[in-house]
Amino acid sequence: MSCGLGAIILVLMLVKLDADNVSAESDRLREDLARLEATETDLASRITALLRDKAVSAEEVAARAAELARLEAELARERDRIAASQNAARALEETITSIEIPEKPDVVETQPTGSENYIVGLRVEGARIGVLVDSSASMTDEVLIDVIRRKNMADAAKQAGPKWLRTKRVVNWFLARVPARSDVRVFAFSDQALPLGNAVNGSDAAGLGRVLGDLDAVVPTGPTNLAAGLAALAAFRPTDVYLITDGLPTAGTGGYRSLNPFSDCSALWGGATSISGACRVRLLRHTINNAGIGNARVNVVLLPIEGDPQASHEFWKWTAATDGILISPATSWP
């Protein structure tokens, strides 16, 4: 009996001990579970963030890929347009190259002198073309001392002056390029205006030849009276005027004593033998205002002369106001 009781007591003790162990193990398991749950929650948060970042990156990549595709398509279209333009340009160039341009012979023969024989921007055109040729004493030479020296020479020496010979070549150049349907009138002027030939059509070689023949007889002498030249040309009613000169006028038509701008320009109304640069400028402006050539387009070929620095500026203003041009050509032209 006592042995059975002891056995029972031993069993109860073992059961109690095992229950305590199980309780401690359960506590440990619960702690581990809590730790794992916390870890799981943290990992879930991280995974959610990573997935969100990945989604944003994917959208950016997709957007950039779409933009790249658009740019590549636009570049391809631009290359196609450039290629088409180049092909069209090549075709046009080949067409132009294949065109045979008939040469129009000059009515008046001119000797070719190279590329300077043609001046960019200067074209002889217009329905009624007036040409004024300055035949004053300064048109013989470029240097004043040579002009003064040649004044005292015979007429043949004046006509042989290098600038006068060049002036005649310029006139020849113009007449050779008068359009066949145009009419042309030429005057030489110094103190007075002198008609060269008659009004002639651009297709009339004989009439143009008579103009050049009359020019050959002109002796360059006297002052530069541009007003006289314009007055003579006014009756022709030119649409285009070509003036060949080397500087501002030095004489006029008279009556300047009563005009206030010329009160100190006694060379125009008194006994003075020289005229100042300022008076020459005023004289040109007065001459232009009273030219009587209407709305004619004025072009000026300004040959060189020593000591007339304001000429180019004043003539440029005149030509620009009429939609014409001023040129001061190289010594090798024409």
- The answer to whether the CB of 243 falls within 8 A of the CB of 225 is no
Residues 252-286 have pLDDT tens digits of: 887 777 777 887 887 787 676 788 889 999 999 99
- What was the pLDDT predicted at 151? 92
The pLDDT tens digits for 122-152 are 889 999 999 999 999 999 999 999 999 999 9
According to DSSP, the β-strands at 326-327 and 183-189 are: unpaired
Has residue 117 got a pLDDT over 80?
no
Answer with the residue of higher pLDDT: 85 or 102. 85
Kindly tell me if the per-residue pLDDT of 37 is higher than 90: no
Preceding omega of 195 cis (within 30 degrees of 0): no
- Rounded Cα–Cα distance for residues 263 and 25 (Å): 133
Instruction: Give 107 or 293, the one with higher predicted confidence.
Output: 293
Q: Say yes or no to pLDDT of 77 above 90.
A: no
pLDDT band of residue 154 (cuts 50, 70, 90) is very high
Under 8 Å between Cβ of 291 and 321: no
What mean pLDDT, rounded, does the chain reach? 83
More confident: 8 or 299? 299
- Cα 294 from Cα 310, distance rounded (Å): 25
- pLDDT classification of 113: cutoffs 50, 70, 90: very low
pLDDT for the residue 142: 92
pLDDT tens for 160-200 read 999 999 999 999 999 999 999 999 999 999 999 999 999 99
d(Cα 31, Cα 266) in Å, to the nearest integer?
Answer: 127
Position 298 pLDDT exceeds 80? yes
Percent above pLDDT 70 for the chain: 82
Q: Is the pTM of this model over 0.75?
A: no
**Residue 324: Cβ-neighbour burial (10 angstroms; 0-12, 13-18, 19+):** buried
Query: Of 198, 199, 205, whose CA–CA distance to 176 is shortest?
Result: 205
Q: What is the pLDDT of residues 239-249, one digit of tens each?
A: 999 999 999 99
